[in-house]
Amino acid sequence: MCGIVAYIGPKEAYPILVKGLKRLEYRGYDSAGVALLNGSLNIYKKEGKVLELENYAEDKNKTGNIGIGHTRWATHGVPCDRNAHPHLSRSGNLAIIHNGIIENYGAIKEELTQRGYTFESDTDTEVLLNLIEDVQNEEKLSIEEAVRVALNEVIGAYAIVVLDKRNPDILVAARKGSPLVIGIGKDEFYVASDASPIIEYTKNVVYLNDEEFAVMNRNGKLDIKTLGNIQKSPYIQKLEMDLEKIEKGGYEHFMLKEIYEQPQVILDCMRGRMNAEKGWIKLGGISEFASRINNAKRIIITSCGTSWHSGLIGEYLIEELARVSVEVEYASEFRYRNPIVNEGDVVLAISQSGETADTLAAIELAKERQALIYGICNVIGSSIARASHAGSYTHAGPEIGVASTKAFSAQVTILTLLALQLAQSKGTISQSRLRQILYELEAVPAKVKEALKTNDKIKEIAIKYKDAHNFLYLGRGLNFPIALEGALKLKEISYIHAEGYPAAEMKHGPIALIDENMPVVFIATNASAHEKIVSNIMEVKARKGKVIAIVNEGDKVIKALADEVVEIPETDELLSPLVSIVPLQLLSYHIALLRGCNVDQPRNLAKSVTVE
Ligand code: G6P
Q: Which of 93-102, 501-510, 551-560 has the lowest average pLDDT? A: 501-510
Q: Ligand 1 centroid vs 208 CA: distance in angstroms?
A: 22
pLDDT of residue 574: 97
CA 65 to chain centre: 32
Residues catalogued as catalytic: 2, 607
d(CA 73, CA 3): 8
383 Cβ inside 6 Å of ligand 1: no
pTM of the entire predicted model: 0.83
533 Cβ inside 6 Å of ligand 1: no
601 Cβ inside 6 Å of ligand 1: no
Band of residue 77 on the pLDDT scale cut at 50, 70, 90: confident
Residue 590's SS3 state is helix
Q: Ligand 1 centroid vs 404 CA: distance in angstroms?
A: 7
d(CA 112, CA 181): 31
CA 330 to chain centre: 15
Buried b (16+ CB within 10 A) or exposed e, 248-281: eeeeebbbbbbbbbbbebbbbbbeebbebeeeeb
d(CA 268, CA 270): 5
The yes-or-no verdict on residue 612 having pLDDT over 80 is no
Are 324 and 419 in contact, with CB atoms under 8 Å apart? no
The yes-or-no verdict on residue 496 having pLDDT over 90 is yes
Which residue is closest in CA terms to ligand 1's atom 8? 607
The yes-or-no verdict on residue 380 having pLDDT over 90 is no
Band of residue 207 on the pLDDT scale cut at 50, 70, 90: very high
352 Cβ inside 6 Å of ligand 1: yes
384 Cβ inside 6 Å of ligand 1: no
62 Cβ inside 6 Å of ligand 1: no
Question: Average pLDDT, stretch 55-61?
Answer: 96
Residues 6+ apart with CB under 8 A from 202: 183, 184, 185, 190, 239
Band of residue 75 on the pLDDT scale cut at 50, 70, 90: confident
Which residue is closest in CA terms to ligand 1's atom 4? 305
605 Cβ inside 6 Å of ligand 1: yes
Question: Average pLDDT, stretch 23-38?
Answer: 92
Question: Average pLDDT, stretch 136-147?
Answer: 95
609 Cβ inside 6 Å of ligand 1: yes
Mean pLDDT for the chain overall: 94
Q: Which of 353, 360, 581 is the pocket-test mutation for ligand 1 (most atoms within 8 Å of CB)?
A: 353
Question: Average pLDDT, stretch 348-368?
Answer: 94
Question: Average pLDDT, stretch 446-472?
Answer: 97
Q: Which of 63-72, 248-257, 302-311 has the lowest average pLDDT? A: 248-257
Q: Which of 609, 610, 611, 612 is the pocket-test mutation for ligand 1 (most atoms within 8 Å of CB)?
A: 609
The larger pLDDT score, comparing residue 429 to residue 75, is at 429
Which residue is closest in CA terms to ligand 1's atom 7? 305
Band of residue 360 on the pLDDT scale cut at 50, 70, 90: very high
Q: Ligand 1 centroid vs 302 CA: distance in angstroms?
A: 12
